[in-house]
Amino acid sequence: MKIIVTGGAGFLGSRVIRALLSDGAARGVPAFDSIVSVDLAPCPVEDARVRSVTGDIADPAFIRSLVDAETVGIYHLAAVLSGQSEEDFDLSLRVNVDGTRALLEAARATGRRPRFVFASSLAVFGGAMPEVVPETMALMPASSYGAQKAIGEILVNDYSRKGFVDGRVCRLPTIVVRPGKPNSAASSFASGIIREPLNGVASNCPVPPETRMWLSSPDTVVSNLVHALAVDGAAIGPWRVLNLPGICVTVAEMLASLERVGGAAPRALVTQRPEQRVIDIVCSWPGDFDVSRPLALGFTRDGDFDAVVRQYKDEFVR
């Protein structure tokens, strides 16, 4: 039996694979003996149980060659991110919508109703919102990426309703602090204003300091994604969408944490020059959610942002 992970070569996918190999069985994920990473690049996880396959997830024939009756679980993490989606509409539509449908169709063809974890985004929201967003909030995406994720959510829900997959839609908080280089997400600066200064490099904050963000550390998001595959679908209920728990932090509070954990010198490396392209996307997102249902289902969140910054500093700053 196997688990498929699209985007398995990436920052999040590779960490999910490592976590599944480490303690997936102990946490109750369906029994498996191999993991197939599907991406445009080879998976960096070196383990005899991991098979790395490169190819186009929007190619139905390619996906059907991988997803078969031995597939007990699928993580769909691959996507064209928010910034690039605004710049290349056709590519993002093909990957984010056509690729999701191709994967769902391949799962449907197995006749085995595999568990299907779809990584969505708080970018599905927009417009006027309350201080704390309830689970029943209507979707009003203000970006192509958000619209495409909203389409994916509806597809996963309908394929689950029809009994083709056992879906779990996880709306991810912005993941901070990501190690490595910036990516094409509009929210990439949220890691950059912590990561770069802690490594002695200048960084710019492109949004107003009062901007609220819904954040989670990489370790917590990965843990929650593993739990998403393990949790009983009946406990989730007919509406398969979950706002994964995060913490609500303003940009000003993020920078205050940077100074408390890293000192005055890293904080001084952060400039604040507005970038309208980023403001238009990020400031359309909500900053706080009612996550009582996911917490009751066993999902978790970080204690405070100081701990998130400290986690990155202790692990990656030398």
201-260 pLDDT per residue, tens? 999 999 999 999 999 999 999 999 999 999 999 999 999 999 999 999 999 999 999 999
Same domain assignment for residues 309 and 201: yes
pLDDT for 181 beyond 90: no
Residue 222 contacts residue 20 (beta carbons within 8 Å): no
Would 306 be classed as within a structural domain? yes
One domain for residues 168 and 73: yes
182 has a pLDDT exceeding 90: no
- Count structural domains, the chain: 2
Q: Are residues 222 and 209 in the same domain?
A: no
Model confidence at 83, pLDDT cuts 50, 70, 90, reads confident
What are 47-64's pLDDT values in tens digits? Answer: 999 999 999 999 999 999
Catalytic residue among 75, 145, 159, 312: 145
Domain extent at residue 77:
2-172+218-243
* Residue 165 · residue 116 · CB < 8 Å: yes
Tens-place pLDDT, residues 3-36: 999 999 999 999 999 999 999 999 999 999 999 9
Give residue 16's identity as a one-letter amino acid code. V
Looking at the structure, do residues 123 and 265 belong to the same domain, yes or no? no
pLDDT band at 82 (very low <50, low <70, confident <90, very high): confident
Residues 122 and 254 in one domain: no
So what's the pLDDT on residue 164?
A: 98
Asked whether residue 132 falls in the same domain as residue 195, the answer is no
* Model pLDDT for residues 255-302, shown as the tens digit of each residue: 999 999 999 999 999 999 999 999 998 998 999 999 999 999 999 999
Asked if residue 269 lies in contact with residue 196, where contact means CB atoms within 8 angstroms, the answer is yes
**In this structure, what is the dihedral angle of CA atoms 92, 95, 101, 102, given to the nearest 10 degrees?**
160
- AA identity, residue 1: M
User: What is the chain's length?
Assistant: 318
Cα distances (Å, whole numbers) of residue 250 to 24, 164, 212, 256 = 34, 41, 4, 10
Cβ-contact 120, 157 below 8 angstroms: no
Query: Is 145 marked active-site?
Result: yes
CATH of the domain at 202: 3.90.25.10
Identify which of 258, 279, 277, 275 has the alpha carbon closest to the alpha carbon of residue 267. 258
Q: Do the domain assignments include residue 293? A: no
